[in-house]
Structure 1
Amino acid sequence: MFGRSKEPLTPSPALTEAAPTPDAPAGKGRPTPKRKQAEAANKRPLVPDDRRAAAKAARAAQREQRDREYRAMQTGDERFMPAKDRGPVRRYVRDWVDARWSLGELFLPVAAVALVAQFALAQAAPLFAFYVIVALYLYVLAAIVDGWLLWRGLKKRLVAKFGTQAVIKGTAMYAVLRAFQIRPSRMPKPQVKHGQKPA
């Protein structure tokens, strides 16, 4: 019952057909190249033949790229803007900041006036000069709070319009730094007027 069978084993036809014949070609059909030949084929010149011409061409390409980006920043064409300024989320952030009056955008003029007044009155009226500096510090604190309120309202709108994945790292800094720039110096240029908030 459990003993060995006396009949000789014959291979199954499926296994016989699948066995490779010695005449059949195996592998990729071509010899593997020698190491020397492979290294020679992969060699690329690290330094071009005419370095001066190559450097000139590279500078021209970089200048053209900068000019294209500058024109795009002026006109609002996102195709050629730097990567950090592209996309509907970044455009919404810019439009929201540009449509809102912010204390930050007046910070540089206010600071310049305060410093000039402080230097002018330091000898004649030192107490008044001290009050000017205190007022400047209070303005800075108010501008920081205003920037925080700006981001808080903008974040809610971004989540409602684009979803939570739209609020990526760096978006808050992008909005607040833009709010602290003088409006004419903002790049990309503002495409909306004050009060013209995006939907």
Structure 2
Amino acid sequence: MFRSRAKEEKAQAADKAPVTDSTQTRHPEAPKGRPTPKRSEAQSQRRSVANTSTTRKEAAKRQREERRAALERQRQALAGGDERYLPARDKGPVRKFARDFIDSRFNIAEFFLPMAVVILVLSMVRVAALQNIALLLWLIVIVLIVLDSIVTGVRLKKRLAERFPDDNRRGAVAYALMRSLQMRRLRLPKPQVKRGERP
């Protein structure tokens, strides 16, 4: 009856506190409602995270190496003409024949770039006569390239129809004409036939 208030509050708190087993006591630093993980669990979690990041890095590195190796094989194929590793636009017997057809003859279009440089230099000179010559040369080169491309396209189309009647020839003539615009030494895949040689 004459007990102090502090002692009464302590007794009530002790009565209200649930009786727990010593093995179920929580760590004082653990968040509420979750027990502290065991050391082995924590280590396995850290190890799995580390392995995942390493695997991702290794996969990215492997992809880069594979891409680099594929590009190197493609570069060597373009230089040597190995059909297995050529890009899709250069693959197949139709495209090979179109390349050989263009490489076996002289094309006016392949001299377009050197002539364009000459014409540009002449047009920059402030002499009316030279500028007129440059303009005339430009017109002649354009007309000759158009005529030569038409003749080459018709002949190639005919040869392709004779040689590959059942194959897909779509785009082969345009592919060949685009090749004819490049100088012979800059063409890729590299020319496999000599000039004048029948493909």
- After TM superposition, the score normalised by the length of structure 2 is 0.69
2:197 is aligned to: 196
2:94 is aligned to: 89
Structure 2: state its 5+ residue gaps. 1-51
2:161 is aligned to: 159
2:188 is aligned to: 187
Runs of 4+ in 1 over 4 A off after TM superposition: none
Structure 1: state its 5+ residue gaps. 1-47
Supply the AA of the counterpart residue of 1:75: G
1:132 is aligned to: 134
Deviation at 1:164, TM superposition (A): 5.7
| Percent of matched pairs sharing the same residue | 36
Deviation readout 1:45-77 (Å, 9 max, x if unpaired): xxx744332222111111100100111111111
Conserved 8 A contact 1:159-1:166:
no
Equivalent pairs, count: 147
The separation in 2 between residues aligned to 1:61 and 1:95, in whole angstroms, is: 31
2:46 is aligned to: none
Supply the AA of the counterpart residue of 1:143: I
Conserved 8 A contact 2:98-2:173:
no
Conserved 8 A contact 2:103-2:191:
yes
The separation in 1 between residues aligned to 2:139 and 2:190, in whole angstroms, is: 29
The separation in 1 between residues aligned to 2:92 and 2:167, in whole angstroms, is: 13
Conserved 8 A contact 2:122-2:130:
no
Give the secondary-structure state (helix, strand or coil) at the position aligned to 1:106.
helix
The separation in 2 between residues aligned to 1:166 and 1:96, in whole angstroms, is: 17
The separation in 2 between residues aligned to 1:100 and 1:52, in whole angstroms, is: 51
Judging changes above 3 Å, is the alpha-carbon distance between structure 1 residues 164 and 138 closer, same or farther for their aligned structure 2 residues? farther
Give the secondary-structure state (helix, strand or coil) at the position aligned to 2:197.
coil
1:176 is aligned to: 177
